[in-house]
């Protein structure tokens, strides 16, 4: 059984901008979302809890340079996507 992915309005805007800026990552990005939906704890996603002002969020990796920040509601098997971009962009 998979998890439900929820996309915030601000995430959708950021994802569209991200896709236009990085068309070469389209397949890798889609694969990351599919894997997240199947198993957020899969080792290749490198899921980890954030600290500081983002301590309510988690992060997963698209690759070594790009991240997606997420809010995980494991009890409801729901994952809300918050932000996508480079390491520095999503951790501001």
**pLDDT by residue (tens digit) across 51-80?**
999 888 899 999 989 999 988 876 678 888
Domain at 55, CATH number: 3.30.2310.20
Average pLDDT, the chain: 89
**pLDDT by residue (tens digit) across 10-25?**
999 999 999 999 999 9
Number of domains in the chain: 1
Q: Is 59 exposed, middle or buried (0-12, 13-18, 19+ CB in 10 A)?
A: buried
Q: pTM value?
A: 0.88
Neighbouring C-alpha atoms within 13 Å toward the C-beta of 7: 11
* Residue span of the structural domain in which 77 resides: 4-90
Query: What pLDDT shows up at residue 1?
Result: 63
């Amino acid at each position: 059984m998979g998890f439900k992915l929820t996309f915030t309005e601000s995430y959708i805007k950021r994802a569209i901008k991200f896709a236009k800026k990085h068309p070469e990552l389209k397949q890798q990005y889609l694969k990351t979302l599919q894997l997240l939906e199947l198993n957020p704890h899969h080792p290749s996603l490198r899921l980890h809890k954030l600290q500081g002002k983002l301590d309510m969020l988690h992060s997963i990796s698209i690759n070594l340079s790009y991240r997606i920040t997420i809010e995980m509601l494991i009890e409801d098997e729901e994952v809300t996507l918050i932000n996508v971009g480079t390491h520095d962009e999503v951790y501001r």
